[in-house]
Amino acid sequence: MKLLVTGAAGFIGFHVIKKVLERGDNVCGVDNINDYYSITLKEARLGILKEYSNLSFEKTDVADKKGMERIFEEYNPEFVIHLAAQAGVRHSLKHPHDYINSNIIGFMNVLEGCRYQKVKHLVFASSSSVYGSNRKLPFSVKDNVDHPISLYAATKKANELMAHSYSHLYNMPITGLRFFSVYGPWGRPDMALYIFTKSINEGKPINVFNHGKMRRSFTYIDDIVQGVLLTLDKIPEPDPNFSHESPTPESSSSPYRLYNIGNDKTVELKYLIELIEKGLGKKAHMNMLPMQPGDIEESWADIDALKKDIGFRPETLIKEGVDSFINWYKEYNGK
């Protein structure tokens, strides 16, 4: 299999690529290695991947039209996993143009590359953030998501619409995955688990929003990787049962599918902090704060469709996953 993966130096991209390299696939990884968070961490991930002879790496921004055209033409991938994006809800409040460049223009370039190279299947990353103002739980891919509450979420909803239009116009097999709170070793420093672990370990106070009453479908990285690769192997076809009179977002008369990928069990933020305290053997000093703009109080993934269609089963318990992250954090940071 010839595979192109964008966001190669990112958290999920690194783990996905490592898995497919280990199974012997040829991979072209693409990343611009921007400074949204630690370049050192990104380069450390890449250093591990570059040990494999079946990896080609391109330092290119997906928003670079000519650069992406060249990569698609030269590498001519059979399959594409598009994970590159400007992430982070709070960052979007101050740097909105980063999201348009990476998430809209960048995705446009990926779609065009897949179109002209006749890629067999494009799997792309959406986000649970698209559920926005929804209060119906658990979040279902059948639900309406027309009320995003952050620009980041709006760009991810736009990606889903762009993907469907290309699937319809060019008969392109495309699957979107709405990720729910992915965590684990080599995770992003801007995510709650990393921030809390670092601060508690250093004896610094942590900001706990919504007074710790947030709930998330925390999903361990190994479970996510398994789900992404199972999805890649399941090439979508037009749904014969799709209703044009009462359409829902997750299916189509085109070769397009949309799934939630996450844990179907939720964890309260306070419990996550307790697990970190136990793992570090240190007590947290908490600043209890109200909700932040753009955040949602609870995310809970309905993954019945992904279970049924590809056999996805998240198996890692939150305690096991947090302990694994803390062990990695101590080793990586030398403390």
pLDDT at 294 over 70: no
Band (pLDDT 50/70/90 cuts) for residue 49 is: very high
pLDDT band at 335 (very low <50, low <70, confident <90, very high): low
Query: Per-residue pLDDT averaged across 128-146, rounded?
Result: 91
Query: Do the domain assignments include residue 291?
Result: no
**The domain that contains 142 carries what CATH number?**
3.40.50.720
Angstrom distance (rounded) from CA 271 to CA 263: 16
d(Cα 191, Cα 56) in Å, to the nearest integer?
29
Query: How many separate domains does the chain show?
Result: 1
Supply 44's token pair.
């450390």
pLDDT digits (tens, 9 = 90+) for 197-207: 999 999 999 98
Q: Is residue 122 domain-resident?
A: yes
CA-CA distances (angstroms) from residue 146 to 29, 130, 156, 244, 298? Answer: 33, 8, 11, 19, 18
Range of the structural domain that residue 157 is part of: 2-179+220-262+301-315
Q: How many residues does the structure list for the chain? A: 335
Which residue out of 37, 131, 152, 220 is catalytically annotated? 152
Residue-level pLDDT at 125: 98
- Per 3-state DSSP, what percentage of the chain is helix, strand, and coil (rounded to 5)? 45, 15, 40
Is residue 154 very low, low, confident or very high in pLDDT (cuts 50, 70, 90)? very high
Q: Is 330 inside a domain boundary?
A: no
Residue 36 is among the residues annotated as catalytic for this protein: no
Q: How far apart are CA 1 and CA 17, in angstroms?
A: 13
Interatomic CA distance for residues 182 and 263, integer angstroms:
9
Q: Note whether residue 199 is domain-resident.
A: no
Model pLDDT for residues 82-136, shown as the tens digit of each residue: 999 998 777 888 899 999 999 999 999 999 999 999 999 999 999 999 998 888 8
Q: Are 85 and 12 in contact (CB under 8 A)?
A: no
Q: What is the pLDDT at residue 89? A: 77
